């Protein structure tokens, strides 16, 4: 088992594909929320409660850089909802992080946890910085100061961060250590996605990609598609994209396109995903990867294929390119890769979209397993982790599928209906304290 964590391995922040259109991410989330809320006949007070974040924290993070200069970074943590339990969600380090994005991502975490039926609310954090331009020492200082600023927010029973874009296991280790130093005890369960030797879970690193593979196969089965006859294109080659590509290939699918910040890589006959992962391990990016034709990032999304996995960033499928997408299934490995305005276009084309709040929920599901293991102090085998992940993802997929059929809506709205209904019912039982 690999216990080594190299800060520079996975921290290089990757720019999104150069499709400049942007939707306000919180509004984009609300557009879908509104449709589901109306179908559920949500009363006004509950509607307002569920759309409003519980807490929004902005902190300044002064750091003495390696050159001796002091720089101020801005950090955020938004707790969207904590009705189902302690809030849970990743921490993102990226140069364009902003409060609206973090708010949307926090809300998506609330719905995601509810869809896969884990006892957490939703939160998200971020620091506006470019990790690829920071030294490991600077990165550690930012992480520790951010954590120190969040001591009143974080906690095993309050709010539990995890990795997201631009952060990794090492960053989680620093969060755990900083929090533990202040609490005067080792608090492993305050953060998930940690290295194995300090209370991480086997299977956590691969969990989001594994979840993507499980629900993609579920959707393929519904459409009568066989893995051997299925071509897949994956946008994004970080933790989620690369593992998704690797696992669907292991299931027999033909991965014909992959891509990262440097462009798209296409081979009609199929790419060797293992070799691509090896290439990126050595060269950091896919650029120069042999055995594939280089195409643009825009062309990658529009390739003739059966399954498209956008696993890069928000707003990649836009009203402009949605009409040109040829896949039968889109499985959203990233959070918010499809603009709300593109939803009806995909729907009219009959494309089955497995929505982010279901598709990429494997990560937080194994985060939940990690939290449980830390609290009990007893660690599971990889077989147990993967078996339980598979069961929970399949159950969630079937629930979303049948809800969508029942209400005659897309899988996305079906997932929102399940999530909102669960949180709303829990809220009613708990009542409003005042
Ligand atoms: N950042 C991941 C997500 O967006 C994981 C969150 C977690 O494990 O808490 O789902």
Query: For position 425, what pLDDT does the model report?
Result: 97
Copy the structure tokens of residue 144: 């520790």
Residue 7 has pLDDT above 60, yes or no: no
Q: Do the domain assignments include residue 105? A: yes
Residue 364 has pLDDT above 80, yes or no: yes
Task: Considering only CA atoms, give the Rg of the chain.
Answer: 20
**What's the mean pLDDT in 371-397?**
98
Q: Do the domain assignments include residue 317? A: yes
Residue with tokens 């006859």: 229
Residue 237 and residue 106 share a domain: no
Confidence of residue 416 (pLDDT cuts 50, 70, 90): very high
Residue 159 and residue 240 share a domain: no
Residue 222 and residue 176 share a domain: no
Pocket test for ligand 1, best of 125, 164, 206, 371 (most atoms within 8 A of CB): 164
CA distance 192 to 355: 23
Query: For position 152, what pLDDT does the model report?
Result: 97
Residue 234 and residue 356 share a domain: yes
Residue 295 and residue 178 share a domain: no
CA of 229 to the centre of ligand 1 (A): 32
CA of 366 to the centre of ligand 1 (A): 9
> 3-state class of 40 per DSSP?
helix
CA distance 171 to 161: 11
Residue 234 and residue 104 share a domain: no
Residue 245 and residue 365 share a domain: yes
Last residue of a domain, one of 177, 198, 219: 198
Last residue of a domain, one of 198, 218, 252: 198
Residue 433 has pLDDT above 80, yes or no: yes
Residue 354 and residue 220 share a domain: yes
Residue 310 and residue 299 share a domain: yes
Residue with the smallest CA separation from ligand 1 atom 4 is 90
Residue 18 has pLDDT above 60, yes or no: no
Query: For position 314, what pLDDT does the model report?
Result: 92
Residue 256 and residue 213 share a domain: yes
CATH number at residue 146: 3.40.50.10860
Q: For the chain, what is the domain count?
A: 2
Catalytic residues: 124
CATH number at residue 223: 3.40.50.720
pLDDT, mean over the chain: 95
Residue 1 has pLDDT above 70, yes or no: no
Residue with the smallest CA separation from ligand 1 atom 8 is 364
Q: Do the domain assignments include residue 67? A: yes
Question: CA 192, 194, 197, 203 torsion: positive or negative?
Answer: positive
CA of 163 to the centre of ligand 1 (A): 6
Q: Do the domain assignments include residue 26? A: no
Measured CA to CA in angstroms, residue 17 lies from 82, 243, 298, 335, 365 at distances of 33, 19, 8, 15, 28
Q: Do the domain assignments include residue 35? A: no
Residue 288 and residue 234 share a domain: yes
Residue 229 and residue 82 share a domain: no
pLDDT by residue (tens digit) across 72-102? 999 999 999 999 999 999 999 999 999 999 9
DSSP letter, residue 31: H
Residue 14 has pLDDT above 80, yes or no: no
Strand (E) or helix (H) holding 204: helix 204-222
Q: Which domain covers residue 240, as residue numbers?
A: 201-434
Q: Do the domain assignments include residue 109? A: yes
Last residue of a domain, one of 198, 232, 265: 198
**What's the mean pLDDT in 370-378?**
98
Query: For position 21, what pLDDT does the model report?
Result: 59
DSSP 16-52: PPS------HHHHHHHHHHHHHHHHT--HHHHHHHHS
Give residues (CB < 6 A) around ligand 1: 88-90, 162, 164, 192, 335, 360, 363-364, 367
294 DSSP β-pair partners? 265
Q: Do the domain assignments include residue 39? A: no
pLDDT by residue (tens digit) across 279-324? 999 999 999 999 899 999 999 999 999 999 999 999 999 999 999 9
CA distance 191 to 90: 9
Query: For position 434, what pLDDT does the model report?
Result: 78
Q: Do the domain assignments include residue 28? A: no
Strand (E) or helix (H) holding 356: helix 356-359
Query: For position 126, what pLDDT does the model report?
Result: 98
């Amino acid at each position: 088992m690999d216990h080594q964590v190299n800060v520079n391995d996975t921290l290089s922040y990757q720019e999104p594909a150069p499709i400049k259109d942007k939707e306000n991410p919180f509004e984009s989330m609300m557009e879908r929320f509104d449709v589901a809320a109306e179908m559920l006949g949500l009363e006004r007070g509950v509607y307002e409660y569920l759309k409003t974040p519980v807490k929004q924290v902005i902190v300044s993070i002064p750091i003495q850089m390696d050159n001796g200069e002091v720089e101020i970074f801005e950090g955020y943590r938004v707790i969207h909802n904590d009705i189902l339990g302690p809030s849970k969600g990743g921490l993102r380090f990226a140069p364009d992080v902003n409060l609206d994005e973090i708010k949307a991502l926090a809300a998506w975490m609330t719905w995601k946890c509810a869809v896969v039926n884990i006892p957490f609310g939703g939160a998200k954090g971020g620091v506006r910085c470019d990790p690829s331009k920071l030294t490991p020492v600077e990165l550690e200082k930012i992480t520790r100061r951010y954590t120190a600023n969040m001591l009143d927010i974080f906690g095993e029973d309050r709010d539990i961060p995890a990795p997201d874009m631009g952060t990794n296991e090492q960053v989680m280790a620093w969060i755990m250590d900083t929090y533990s130093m202040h609490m005067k005890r080792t608090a492993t369960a305050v953060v998930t996605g940690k290295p194995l030797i300090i209370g991480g879970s086997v299977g956590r690193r691969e969990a989001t990609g594994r979840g993507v593979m499980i629900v993609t196969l579920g959707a393929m089965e519904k459409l009568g598609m066989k893995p051997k006859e299925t071509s897949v294109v994956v946008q994004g080659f970080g933790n989620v994209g690369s593992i998704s590509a690797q696992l669907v290939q292991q299931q027999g699918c033909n991965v014909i396109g992959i891509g990262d910040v440097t462009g798209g890589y296409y081979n009609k006959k199929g790419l060797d995903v293992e070799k691509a992962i090896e290439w990126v391990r050595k060269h950091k990016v896919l650029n120069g990867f042999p055995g594939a034709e280089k195409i643009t990032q825009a062309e990658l999304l529009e390739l003739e294929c059966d399954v498209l996995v956008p696993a890069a960033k928000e707003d990649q499928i836009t009203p402009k390119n949605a009409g040109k997408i040829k896949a039968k299934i889109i499985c959203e490995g990233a959070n918010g890769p499809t603009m709300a305005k593109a939803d009806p276009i995909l729907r009219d084309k009959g494309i089955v979209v497995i929505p982010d709040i279901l598709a990429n929920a494997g990560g937080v599901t194994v985060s939940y397993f990690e939290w449980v293991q830390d609290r009990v102090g007893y660690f599971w085998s990889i077989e147990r982790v993967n078996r339980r992940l598979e069961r929970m993802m399949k159950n969630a997929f079937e629930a979303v599928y049948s809800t969508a059929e029942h209400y005659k809506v897309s899988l996305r709205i079906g997932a929102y209906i399940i999530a909102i209904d669960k949180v709303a019912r829990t809220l009613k039982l708990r009542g409003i304290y005042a």
